[in-house]
Amino acid sequence: MSNDQHELREACAETSFPAIASPLVNQAIEQARTVASDPSAEGLHQLRITMRRLRSLWWAYRPLLDAGENTSQRELFRSLADTAGRTRDYDILIELLKLQREDWKALPPEILEARQKALDVGREVFSNPATKTQLLGVLSQTSDELVARQDRQPLQAFSDERVAISESQLRRRMRRASKAKRSNFAAFHDVRKAGKKARYLLELFGPVLSRGHRKTLNELKEVQKRFGALNDVVASENLLRDNAPLLAATGEPERTLKWFKQERERRLRAVAALIRKQWK
């Protein structure tokens, strides 16, 4: 174990928070600055991941913080993540439409215009100085609240407990999904969300966690891969269903929705098979 890792394990959860959170917040601010000057779908996608990691970290510290403030702060991260990810959502839709319609020579202009609008909105939000101010304000407020606490607990014990709770939530949701009908997408989507949170916490607290959590991280990679593929289809199908002009622009709405339904069911079977394997 390196000296840095040893010192981290000996540290307190409350006073260690700024050292854990600051690099993430700074990364988000830098990614937002890059997106503002040169917007790209990949840049926005990476920014969405950072926002989700921040939301998971704030969830981990929730027991030590004011419940109302913590909820509003995590909602800020969720909202910014959604804004950042909208362009990526359109890119996934475009990829799936190309898969469905191999005979297309050019994408409908309506879809390209919708994607550009999402890109412009993301650029506008993240070029606003208020976004940086909000992120730094949340970091400062939370850090001050934690450092001011009179009671202290070891970072390793705290991290192990919070990661264990996230893993337990994941197992419960997988168990529920294993008994659900394949038409119950919400049950499968809950597994995906729980898996993301557990993975982000395993990565964030990795240097101080006990060895027992490493197996979970490896298992989560396959879980996220299959659940992500399913979510891509469901999210794209919903994007079309919620936007009639966009669906009409495909030229053959009924054929398009039929293909998405078939693809959704195929990917659901793959997800169900994975869950059965995990819970056999």
pLDDT tens-digit map of 51-76: 999 999 999 999 999 999 999 999 99
Q: Is the pLDDT of residue 112 over 50?
A: yes
Winning range, highest mean pLDDT, from 25-29, 43-47, 226-230, 250-254: 25-29
Per-residue confidence (pLDDT) for residue 8, from 0 to 100: 59
Q: Is residue 111 part of a domain?
A: no
Residues 45, 20 share a domain: yes
pLDDT in tens, 72-99: 999 999 999 999 999 889 999 999 998 8
Whether pLDDT at 280 is above 60: no
Q: What is the mean pLDDT of residues 114-134?
A: 93
CA distance readout (Å), 42 to 39, 46, 87, 116, 119: 9, 6, 9, 14, 11
pLDDT in the model for residue 164: 93
Beta bridge partners of 12: 154
> Is the confidence at residue 271, as pLDDT, over 80?
yes
Q: 111-115, 185-189, 218-222, 257-261: which has the minimum mean pLDDT?
A: 218-222
> Do 194 and 245 fall within a single domain?
yes
Residue 50: pLDDT above 70? yes
Write down the pLDDT at residue 150. Answer: 87
Torsional class of 154: left (φ above 0), alpha (ψ -120 to 50), beta (otherwise): beta
- What is the predicted pLDDT for the residue at 220? 77
Same domain, 147 and 247: no
78 and 201 assigned to the same domain: no
User: What was the pLDDT predicted at 33?
Assistant: 94
Q: Is residue 36 located within the same domain as residue 148?
A: yes
Whose structure tokens read 């959604």? 82
Number of H helices, E strands in the chain: 11, 0
Inter-residue contact 60 to 162 (CB < 8 Å): yes
Report if residue 270 sits inside a domain: yes
pLDDT tens readout for residues 220-241: 777 788 888 889 999 999 999 9
C-alpha to C-alpha distance for 230 and 235, rounded to whole angstroms: 9
Is residue 247 scored above 50 in pLDDT? yes
Under 8 Å CB-to-CB from 125, ≥6 apart: which residues? 80, 83, 131
Residue with the larger pLDDT of the pair 261 and 226: 261
Check whether residue 2 and residue 135 sit in a common domain: yes
Domain membership of residue 202 as a residue range: 154-280
d(CA 280, CA 278): 6
Same structural domain for residues 208 and 263?
A: yes
In tens, the pLDDT along 2-41 reads 444 555 556 899 999 999 999 999 999 999 999 988 888 8
- The mean pLDDT value of the chain amounts to 88
- The answer to whether residue 105 sits within a structural domain is no
Looking at 152, 174, 205, the residue that finishes a domain is: 152
Residue 1: the pLDDT is 41
In terms of Cα–Cα distance, which of 151, 153, 144 is closest to 13? 153
Q: Is residue 96 part of a domain?
A: no
Same-domain pairing of 64 and 129: yes
* pLDDT per position as a tens digit, 127-171: 999 999 999 999 999 999 999 998 899 999 999 999 999 999 988
At 25 the pLDDT is 98
Residue 73 makes CB contacts below 8 A (sequence gap 6+) with 58, 138, 141, 142
> What dihedral do alpha carbons 225, 158, 24, 208 form, nearest 10°?
-80
Which of 105, 130, 152 is a domain's end point?
A: 152
Question: In this structure, are residues 192 and 228 in contact, taking their beta carbons and an 8 Å threshold?
Answer: yes
SS3 state of residue 85: helix
Residues 25 and 144 in one domain: yes
Asked if 135 and 223 sit in the same domain, the reply is no
pLDDT for 2 equals: 46
Residue 114 lies in a domain: no
| 9-13, 64-68, 113-117, 254-258: range with lowest mean pLDDT | 9-13
**Residue 98 domain flag:** no
Q: How many domains does the chain have?
A: 2
Q: Within this chain, do residues 221 and 141 fall inside the same structural domain, yes or no? A: no
Co-location of 67 and 140 in the same domain:
yes
**Percent of the chain topping pLDDT 70:** 92
Answer yes or no: is 113 within a domain: no
The residue with tokens 């299959």 is 226
Does residue 126 belong to any structural domain of this protein? Answer: yes
